[in-house]
Each structure stands twice: as structure tokens, then as C-alpha cells.
Amino acid sequence: MRLLRELHGRTMIAIAGAAAVLGLAAAVLIVGVGLFNVSARHGHWPGVTWAMHTTFESSVAFRAPPKSAVPDNLDTPDMVALGAGHYKSACMECHGAPGVPRSATVQQMLPEPPSLALVADHWNAPEMHWIIHNGIKMSGMPGWPADRKDDVWPLVAFLRAQKGMTPDTWQAITDDTEGGCAVCHGRNGVSENVQVPRLDILSEEYIAQSLAAYRDGTRDSGIMYEVMSQLPAASVERLARTFADVSPEGTAIEPSELAEQGRALAFAKGGSQSVPACRACHGPWPVPINPAFPSLAGQHAPYLAQQLTLWREGNRGGGRAAELMFKASKDLTDREIEALAAYYASLEPAKLDDTAD
């Protein structure tokens, strides 16, 4: 019996050793010599596509954010338009667009990028958000080029809205005859999309500093980082000058009760001992202000609220004085953010030093 047990043990060791040698040999043949065929022309072995795709779907379903993370304004036309603008510059190449087919080459990718038309039915909003932000390993789908997650939602909005979208509509919302910036920021930077900042109220210094911050990643935004990665550094100054030269037009809106509360905060009249008076840097202010600070007069409320939230959470970068805004915003409540956004949006659009009252 003992002999048998010993023999048995030795046999086991021998089998394990042989398996290890065979495995090593296979690894050398595949990795080193190149026996495995990586050609995309011939597809996968039977079953591999199923295994990989199922793994992918399960992984996305497992990791997607909860439904509660979906913003209330997801399906608004402005979110769709912003998403469409970014889609056109970053995604259309592989996924096509209404009236824009995928190229023959793209269709040879393995796996083949799904045609846009199929996406919205297959995934829900949180799943699309997860896929766009994370990308998919070994599929050619890249991750989002920023840590920030909130600026992925416009793209999700577009993906939901494009189902059945006519080529004409697509052309209309992504029209770039006025230049690439105009797709989202409107003609001369006077954005009519409330998700996108209007640039006509800003100074040359501020725009240049913001573009530089987007370019080097100090200011985190997947959308603007993509844009800046395609622009030569020299164009920053020219763009800043172009938009700064525009004289803002427009009228003040009758302030709501909420906007009045915002005004009190901005003027340090609200009794708050934790929120600095916004107007000392952003106007209205009776004497000249450092032009590196942005004017907010007439800026779109949803954009302001989003940016204030980013500052408060500490995800927002900017120029050299960014620390000022981190400190200033860290105690803002949601209500105060809404009130401040409503107040500044209600002002007559104006450059910083023209806001004096």
C-alpha cells in the first residue's frame, strides 16, 4: 500500500511537471514565435465572440451607475445638441451618424463598432454612460479623456435622441459652417445652448487662460480636451481675441425670487459668514477687476450651476487663482448654487468691467 501511495505521488508530480513544460512551450510558441493568428480578417474561433461579448455585457451591467445618477435634464434639446457636437468630432468616425454611414474600413474592425442606430435600444442611460466614460478593453472603444463624469451625460442624451433622427436634423444641430467652435458655442461664441457657456461676455485673458487649462488638463473636461487636442497651441491667442472682441448684446431678465436671493449672496447681504461676496471678483463691482476673472453677467444658469458644483466638489481647475474659487465655493449649498446661477443669468450680458452698478 505504502509503495503504491508513493508511486501515485510521484506520478502526480510527473504529470504536473509535464503539463508545466507543455504550457511553457505553448506560451513560447504563441507569444515568442507568433503561431497564434491575430488577423482581424478571419474573425474569432467559434465560441470566442460569444464568450467575450457576454463578458462585456455582464461587466457593463454589473458596473453601471444607478439610475438615480441620471440627471433630470438628460433629454433636453440643449443636452442633445451639446452631445451631438462632441459626437461629431470624437465618435462619428467609427459609429456613423444619421445619414453618415460608417466607412468600409471601420466596418472591418474586430469587433465591429456598432452602428449608432443599434445603440439606444440595447443599452439604458447609465450603461451608456459607463461605456462612454470607461471605454471597452480590446475593442477599440477608448475611455473618456477626463476624470470628470458629468460631461458624459450630453453624449448619452444624444445617443437616446438620435434614434430616428433625420439627416437634416443632424446636419442642423452640428452645422459647422461658422467654424468648429460655433457648433456648440454658437456664432461668435454667443451660445444659445444653456449647457454651453457664452463667450462674448469674457475677456481675452480669461478665455486664453481657460483654453490653456483645457489644453494641459488643468481644467478637466472630456469635451474641451478633445477639442484642444486638435487645435494648434498658437490658435489659443487668436481664438481668445476673436471671442473677446465681440460686444455682448441682450437684456436683463426680470429677476425671480430665487435670483433675488442670489443677488443678496453675491452682494454679501444675505448674512452668510461662509460664502464670499461673488461680486468682488465677478461683478457688478464699482472699480476695475482683474481681467483674469470671468464675468458672469448673462451667463446661462445651468452652466453656472454645473460649474459651481464642480468647484464645490473640487473637480474644477482653472487659472493660477483657482484656489480662490475652491475656498469660496466649498460651503455652497445646492440651493445657494441655484440662486446664484439664477441671479447672474438674469443680468444684462456684459463684460466684467461693464457690470458696475
What 3-state DSSP class applies to 60? helix
CB of 119 to other proteins, least distance (A): 44
Nearer to other proteins (CB atom), residue 201 or residue 325 = 325
CB of 320 to other proteins, least distance (A): 4
Nine cell digits for residue 110: 474586430
Nine cell digits for residue 169: 436634423
CB atoms within 10 A of CB 342: 22
CA 311 vs CA 193, 219, 260, 298, 324: distances in Å: 21, 11, 22, 20, 10
User: Which residues have a Cβ under 8 Å from the Cβ of 304 and sit 6 or more positions away?
Assistant: 296, 340, 341, 344, 345
Contact 263, 344 (CB under 8 A): no
Contact 214, 221 (CB under 8 A): yes
CB of 277 to other proteins, least distance (A): 5
CB of 330 to other proteins, least distance (A): 9
Nearer to other proteins (CB atom), residue 134 or residue 218 = 218
Nearer to other proteins (CB atom), residue 257 or residue 323 = 323
List the end-to-end C-alpha distance of the chain, in Å, as a whole number: 103
Closest CA to 268 of 336, 349, 356: 336
Nearer to other proteins (CB atom), residue 49 or residue 274 = 274
**Gap between the Cα atoms of 162 and 165, Å rounded:** 5
Nearer to other proteins (CB atom), residue 225 or residue 311 = 311
CB of 345 to other proteins, least distance (A): 20
Residue 294, judged by CB atoms within 10 A of its CB (0-12, 13-18, 19+), counts as buried
Nearer to other proteins (CB atom), residue 34 or residue 288 = 288
Q: Is 250 left (phi over 0), alpha (psi -120 to 50) or beta?
A: left
CB of 311 to other proteins, least distance (A): 12
Nearer to other proteins (CB atom), residue 106 or residue 277 = 277
Q: From the centroid of its chain, how far is CA 11?
A: 59
CB of 286 to other proteins, least distance (A): 5
**Residue ranges binding other proteins (CB under 8 A):** 267-268, 271-281, 285-290, 293, 319-321, 323-324, 326-328
**Gap between the Cα atoms of 153 and 82, Å rounded:** 10
